[in-house]
Amino acid sequence: MVAPPWISIPPATYGGTESIVAFIVEELVAQGHDVTLFAPGDARTSANLVSFFPRSLIAEGVPWQAALKAYFHLAKSIEHAGEFDIVHLHLSSTADMFQFPLLAKVAAPHVTTVHSNFPYDRVHDWIGDADQYFMEWIRPAPLVTVSDRARQNLPPGLNVAGVVHLGVPMADYRFAETGSRDYVTWLGRFAPDKGAHTAIDAAKRAGVKIIVAGIVEQGIQASVDYFKREIEPRLDGEQARYIGPVNLEQKLALLGGARALLNPITWEEPGATVVVEAMAVGCPVIGFARGVVPELIVDGKTGFLVRNVDEMVARIARIDEIDRRTTHEHVDRNLSASAMTRKYVAIYEKLRAGA
């Protein structure tokens, strides 16, 4: 398992891709597989760990645009490909694209999970044309998408080995029996298309408290500016509060105590880990029907799918119609880490057989 080197495995606070990498690795080990994780030295894992530098890049203060150490990590990891039955990699940020030319002459079976959307040649609002030059290496490479919608959004002609929705470990994400239930919440990375400002507005219009939590990426000026311009003026410390980034324990308490998670995204989100996390503890989700969200929420059973803020406000008033135990059980049956990992093992076996 080759992890992206930017954020620790598992992440201390925010890191959707890194959480999923950790979930898969731990579940593979629990299912009896011999797993080696290639990741920076601050990873915490039950697998064998191979590291080429001691700390993840963001923890070291490396900006996302400085890709040399990320390339080094990928190149050194892929040098070991021939030692393993299967190599599993992840495409989440621009620097991860380097793995495809590095894999071009690798004979060992390999697969890459695509966690975000093309194009990857982008920096904030700037989009380049380098993706097209990488296609000669990407097209033959077996890929897995994290939703049917993400598969539809891929460039044409790619080699898709399967679709595997994200899952969470149910031993950690247990049903929350009790909680204050006097607030709704939003959780994630502060960016306009994640919709934290919209969630606050919806909660205020519905007359309920909201607690927002997540990361302001200090190295990305657009994130800092968005928080100062759109979030801070909406906070009053009582009806709308920001509690900062949260670790796993704090996240579980926040979601378990909330009446609902609001997820008013305005982009084609491929995976939406937080939606699965919320439902896993029994917290219903009211989400805009964009990207993967309609594949995760069972409308009227585990939350509500809505098209706009007006509908979100109306559904907040109806959230107690959702049975929290049913919501938890839906994730346990369909979106657990064990279910996710079993699907990956089936793909590994298929690739090893040359199918």
Tell me the residue range of the domain where 197 lies: 183-334
Shared domain for 132 and 208, answered yes or no, is no
Question: 269: domain CATH number?
Answer: 3.40.50.2000
Shared domain for 145 and 199, answered yes or no, is no
Phi, psi of 27 (to 5 degrees): -70, -40
Please, how many CA atoms are within 13 Å of residue 285, restricted to the half-sphere of its CB?
A: 30
CA distance 201 to 224: 20
91 - beta bridge partners?
A: 114
H runs (alpha helix) in the chain? 16-30, 68-78, 99-103, 131-138, 148-152, 196-206, 221-226, 248-257, 273-280, 293-296, 309-316, 324-334, 337-352
| CA neighbor of 195 nearest in space, from 322, 298, 285 | 285
Shared domain for 278 and 158, answered yes or no, is no
Q: What is the pLDDT of residues 82-125, one digit of tens each?
A: 999 999 999 999 999 999 999 999 999 999 999 999 999 998 88
CA distance 148 to 156: 14
For the chain, which residues score pLDDT lower than 50? none
Tokens of 51: 């590291």
| Domain-embedded: residue 151 | yes
Phi, psi of 235 (to 5 degrees): -90, 140
Phi, psi of 122 (to 5 degrees): -150, 150
Which one-letter DSSP state was computed for residue 61? Answer: T
The total number of residues written for the chain in this structure: 355
Shared domain for 21 and 163, answered yes or no, is yes
| Domain-embedded: residue 3 | no
**pLDDT for the residue numbered 93:** 95
Mean pLDDT rounded to a whole number for the chain: 96
**pLDDT for the residue numbered 355:** 56
| Domain-embedded: residue 172 | no
Shared domain for 190 and 127, answered yes or no, is no
**pLDDT for the residue numbered 189:** 92
Instruction: Give 212: exposed, middle or buried? Use CB within 10 Å, 0-12, 13-18, 19+.
Output: buried
Q: What is the pLDDT of residues 206-258, one digit of tens each?
A: 999 999 999 998 878 889 999 999 999 999 999 999 999 999 999 999 999 99
| CA neighbor of 343 nearest in space, from 92, 112, 165 | 165
Q: Residue 205 CA to chain centroid, in angstroms? A: 29
Shared domain for 64 and 127, answered yes or no, is yes
| Domain-embedded: residue 4 | no
CA distance 98 to 229: 35
| Domain-embedded: residue 9 | no
**pLDDT for the residue numbered 180:** 73
Whether 270 and 147 have beta carbons less than 8 Å apart is answered as yes
Shared domain for 150 and 71, answered yes or no, is yes
Please, how many CA atoms are within 13 Å of residue 255, restricted to the half-sphere of its CB?
A: 34
| Domain-embedded: residue 303 | yes
Whether 1 and 21 have beta carbons less than 8 Å apart is answered as yes
Shared domain for 345 and 322, answered yes or no, is no
**pLDDT for the residue numbered 125:** 83
| Domain-embedded: residue 178 | no
Domain count within the chain: 2
Tokens of 240: 């709308």
Shared domain for 86 and 69, answered yes or no, is yes
